Structure 1
């Protein structure tokens, strides 16, 4: 099996989910006691989040570049950045290493394209919902996106950074997301893109009116396929 590297700690809760999904996929494919050869560079999210919130993306980029280079040196053959929002610095990180980095929006776009989905609502933290670095890659796959809902983006930021990254999943936030997804289903879209690696903690991706493309699962499974590829 091929070895991959995870740039994690963005937050630790979602990194744990990546590790679980990848190992479960490898175990299913290989059977027995098989598990995945994975390297994890778990960053201090407090440092990275501080850079992002202060709009100091150069500092965030340096943190991720350092992690990527250490993983490459340790033998990782491809890398995953285990956060949607941190793909804002994807290009800089990818240019700093000699191994490929699997882009989360690219694999989500590929799957939606294969499924024939042409319209969707993008749900995530503010920078993912509003900025071009993420939206443009999905649009390039032929997916038309609803305009960003700024009130929803602000509420999701609060839920993610005050609760989910700390490992807290409240009933109030679960009810809020269920209500929002019900409202989105009334609009002219075919699917919802769950573009925040922590939101799976409060959204049942299999029990909604619209199909939900869970970016965490799709991205992690892309990593598992790389591990299992010849």
Structure 2
């Protein structure tokens, strides 16, 4: 079994879910009382937020993730998963500096959506995910089109993630607003939705979404187990 390197802490809420689901999936796949070989590097979220939000210093944030990636490499990890969607924007800059690969969450998600025969993907996440181009580019390579919420919807989604979800708060009224936003995106042409923040599936289960919904957390954990067992 390969050793999974996990960069967590962004937030601890989704990191705990990653650890739980990766081990549940591993036990189902490998049988018995199997558990995944995981080495976790937990980032200080406050340090990351200070760099990205307060100082707008993307280089400092990238360096923080690179330091964690190198620690996982030194600890013997065979590959790396990041338990946060938007941090994957740093992967192209970091990958050349380490010798082990990242398992990219957007690649895993795009492949799963394409396999279902869906094409127009609404992206829900923090602003850097919704407004950045890494999801759009990866989806396009799989023949998919990204649809982004409007400004008011983006503000609600982003603020709810920072003010509630990463603080382990999940409110019915927030869930209902997500459902309303997804219905609106469907009316604008989306045929599915990527829950592209790893805390969102803790608020809104895919089966409760008005469109076919893809939990990036679940897909990433499944792919990590497959790679650890050399099934991918």
The TM-score bracket by the shorter chain reads over 0.9
Gaps of 5+ in 1: none
Gaps of 5+ in 2: none
- Mapped to 1, the partners of 2:25 and 2:156 lie a distance apart of 33
SS, match of residue 207 in structure 2: coil
1:83 matched residue in structure 2: 84
Shift, 1:147, TM fit: 4.0
SS, match of residue 201 in structure 1: helix
2:202 matched residue in structure 1: 201
- Size of the alignment, in residue pairs? 230
- Mapped to 2, the partners of 1:179 and 1:11 lie a distance apart of 25
SS, match of residue 39 in structure 2: strand
Q: After the TM superposition, which parts of structure 1 deviate over 4 Å for at least 4 consecutive aligned residues?
A: none
SS, match of residue 101 in structure 1: coil
- Mapped to 1, the partners of 2:196 and 2:148 lie a distance apart of 15
User: What is the Cα-based RMSD across aligned positions, in Å?
Assistant: 1.3
Deviation readout 1:12-43 (Å, 9 max, x if unpaired): 00111111111011100122211110010011
- Mapped to 2, the partners of 1:191 and 1:25 lie a distance apart of 24
- Mapped to 2, the partners of 1:213 and 1:119 lie a distance apart of 13
Alignment TM-score, normalising by the size of structure 1: 0.95
Q: Which shows bigger deviation, 135-144 or 74-83?
A: 135-144
Deviation readout 1:24-72 (Å, 9 max, x if unpaired): 1110012221111001001110111121113211011111001000101
Deviation readout 1:89-121 (Å, 9 max, x if unpaired): 111221221001011111111111222211121
Shift, 1:133, TM fit: 2.2
Deviation readout 1:176-218 (Å, 9 max, x if unpaired): 1122122223332221111011111211211233110111111
Shift, 1:148, TM fit: 4.0
2:63 matched residue in structure 1: 62
Shift, 1:134, TM fit: 2.3
1:120 matched residue in structure 2: 121
